[in-house]
Amino acid sequence: MQLNGSQIFVEVLCEQGVDTLFGYPGGAVLNLYDELYKNADRITHVLTAHEQGAAHAADGYARATGRTGVVLATSGPGATNLVTGIATAYMDSVPMVAFTGNIPTAGLGTDGFQEAYIEGITMPITKHNFTVRKVEDLADTMRAAFRIAQSGRKGPVLVDIPKDVTAAVCEFTPKQPEKIRTVTTYNAEQVKWAADIINAAERPLVYFGGGVRSAASCQPLRDLIHKAEIPATYTLMAAGVVPYGDPMNIGMIGMHGCYTANRAVADCDVLIALGTRFSDRVALNPKTFAKNATIIQIDIDPSELGKNVDVDLAISGDAAYVLGGMLPLIEEKKHPDWMKMIHEWQAQDYHPVSDASRLMPHQVIGEVCNQCGPEAVYVTDVGQHQMWAAQYIRHAKSRGFITSGGLGTMGFGYGAAIGAQMALGRDQRVVMFTGDGSFHMNLNEACTAVSYELPIITVIFNNQVLGMVRQWQTAFYGKRFSQTDPHRKTDFVKLAEGFGLKGYRCTNLAEFQTAFAEALKNKGPTWIECMIDKDEKVLPMIPGGGDINDIIMK
């Protein structure tokens, strides 16, 4: 059948199972938006306040579901406003397809109005990107974009579509979505070798990252650690994969990880690294990281194997299939002496002291968990509040904690919360933790939450400073607080009302308990401002370049 480019655009989106699209219109994509208007019963379009918010929303949608998030922006500044969101998804291996408009093909390269070479701009932060120059190529290019986003190590793909392509006509043939090829192969000899090493270990430890967040990877990991009694530590990106309270879960590793996890890495004799890349926030000193251990690394991306830390055995493959092949070779075993050491270290972990007369982050987060129950989804911005959330939330499911890890994008949270809420439905409880510094970055997306009546509860830790940077200035820069006290006078309660949502301010735990209980009853979005001390720190902390011997506990 004969269709124009805009009709093909919508048909392929529907073909790929897209039900929600985040975006912002503009001249170069008006043909696409006209067709989306005609197909509003097939695809829900969510209009955000800013293209960056739309990109983060597509990201949050993907993280909450495992499906591909989709974002659409116009040319020039619309396209460049997506860059931070695309880079965020790239660093955390999130499947996303970003569509941008551009000026007509005949004018490309002439510096036309709102022209930007977005293909070149995004080349380093996408798995692949395309500029469609002929309408005949549009359908298959879009299909390739969705396939690439979900194949192997997942990530974002960009498709740039000049305006004349959206109007041109060609023959269109519908196709069934191509089945994503799963990496099922692995080196069986290496897997046997790994199993032998694990079976001989006296102090084994599993260290896993965001690469095992999918349901397929979670269960084999849990089976491994319970079959062979192997304690497990995780990165920020993998919170929730092994449930809170599981006896094999010894907590988060890294700069703000717990003492036990970091000490276990230093003392283990075998380290099994699954779906993780030994980032500089975990392997703070690559030369001393797990220096006493035989290191086995399993990752779907061969380029990550041995990249940051020298490993003894590198296995390329999907963690679910590699572990599936390894599990029958793993002996059922107990490690009583090793577990005794783990328990002794846990007694030395940092535990904040509670104070009912003032608001303390761990108390606020604990109360949120108490009132929300185990099925809530938590989203964070970036900063101290992010680390407190990672430390104190009682995670219950693998996709229940959404945060920007690799890029550390301040302003990520509200857009991502909107995407998660749209993906999961209004009956799903979504709570966003932020700080006053991060929140100022993209709080304009409040209007989006209001417009779509999304019941997102935003908990704002307001210490009136840029807390994480101030903490570093306190520890390493002689308390020279350069530009970390912005002297802002923002009244979040009044601002909330101005956006059309409900706002609360709390100064002690009792006030917060009441405010949060009321927020749970609201049909639309709610902000709860929590006044905390500007010198409240994220502890423990290992300085960059350090190791367990450099840990700061007070």
Mean pLDDT of the chain: 96
User: What secondary structure letter does DSSP report for 320?
Assistant: H
Percentage of residues of the chain with pLDDT beyond 70: 100
Q: Which two tokens stand for residue 81?
A: 């406003």
Average the pLDDT over 411-424 and give the result.
98
For residues 16, 20, 25, 30, the Cα torsion angle rounded to the nearest 10 degrees is 40
User: Residue 168: which residues within 8 A CB-CB, separation 6 or more?
Assistant: 4, 5, 134, 135
**188-346 adopts what CATH topology?**
Rossmann fold (3.40.50)
The residue written with tokens 């500029």 in the block is 131
Look up the pTM and report it.
Answer: 0.96
The answer to whether residue 51 is catalytic is yes
**pLDDT class of 178 with cuts at 50, 70, 90:** confident
Q: Which residues contact 355 (CB under 8 A, 6 or more apart)?
A: none
pLDDT, one tens digit per residue, over 118-139 is 999 999 999 999 999 999 999 9
Cα 470–474–479 angle (5° rounding)? 100
Looking at the DSSP assignment, which residues form a beta bridge with residue 380? 433
**Residue 123 falls in the annotated catalytic set:** no
Which pLDDT belongs to residue 214? 78
Kindly give the pairing relationship between strand 169-171 and strand 2-4: antiparallel
Active site residue 163: yes
Locate 109 and state its tokens: 């390269």
CA distance 434 to 527: 10
For position 339, what pLDDT does the model report? 98
Q: Could you say which of 15, 114, 307, 511 is catalytic?
A: 114
Which CATH superfamily includes the segment(s) 2-171? Thiamin diphosphate (ThDP)-binding fold, Pyr/PP domains (3.40.50.970)
The token pair at 218 is 């979670």
Mean pLDDT of 224-234: 98
Residues found in the chain: 554
* pLDDT tens per residue, range 215-228: 677 899 999 999 99
Q: Which residues pair with 72 in a beta bridge?
A: 23, 99
Per residue in 348-368, pLDDT tens?
999 998 887 889 999 999 999
Domain ranges of the chain: 2-171, 188-346, 361-531
The whole-number pLDDT of residue 247 equals: 95
Sheet holding 401-402, edge to edge: 401-402, 377-380, 430-435, 457-462, 526-531, 502-506
Q: What is the pLDDT of residue 359?
A: 94
pLDDT confidence of residue 215: 66
What's the confidence (pLDDT) of residue 216? 73
- So what's the pLDDT on residue 317? 95
Q: Which residue type sits at 204?
A: P
- Angle made by CA atoms 334, 205, 92, in degrees to the nearest 5: 140
In 16-110, alpha helices (H): 30-38, 51-65, 77-80, 83-91
Q: With bands split at pLDDT 50, 70 and 90, how would you rate the model's confidence at 184?
A: confident
Confidence at residue 356, expressed as pLDDT on a 0 to 100 scale: 79
Query: How far is residue 33's CA from residue 143's CA, in Å, rounded to a whole number?
Result: 20
Q: pLDDT tens digits for 299-329?
A: 999 999 999 999 999 999 999 999 999 999 9
Phi, psi of 366 (to 5 degrees): -60, -40
Catalytic residue among 35, 51, 304, 529: 51
| Mean pLDDT value across residues 377-385 | 98
**What's the whole-number mean pLDDT along residues 281-294?**
95
Does 114 qualify as catalytic in the annotation? yes
- Contact status, residue 406 vs residue 59, Cβ threshold 8 Å: no
Mean pLDDT calculated for residue range 166-189: 92
**7 carries an active-site annotation:** no
Q: Do domains 188-346 and 361-531 have the same CATH topology?
A: yes
* Catalytic member of 91, 237, 468, 541: 468
Q: Is the pLDDT assigned to residue 498 strictly greater than 70?
A: yes
Residue owning tokens 């988060």:
252
Among residues 7, 91, 96, 163, which one is catalytic? 163
Structure tokens given for 77: 């500044």
Letter for the amino acid at 36? L
Q: Which CATH architecture has domain 361-531?
A: 3-Layer(aba) Sandwich (3.40)
Helical axes 188-200 vs 319-326, angle rounded to 10°: 60
Q: If you average pLDDT over residues 45-51, what whole number do you get?
A: 98
Catalytic residue among 113, 227, 287, 333: 113
Q: Judge whether residue 369 has pLDDT over 80.
A: yes
Taking alpha carbons only, the member of 400, 452, 445 closest to residue 243 is 400
Has residue 150 got a pLDDT over 70? yes
Q: b or e along 451-460 (b: 16 or more beta carbons within 10 Å of the residue's beta carbon)?
A: ebebbbbbbb
The pLDDT score that the predictor gives to residue 424 is 98
Residue 397 — pLDDT band, cuts 50, 70, 90? confident
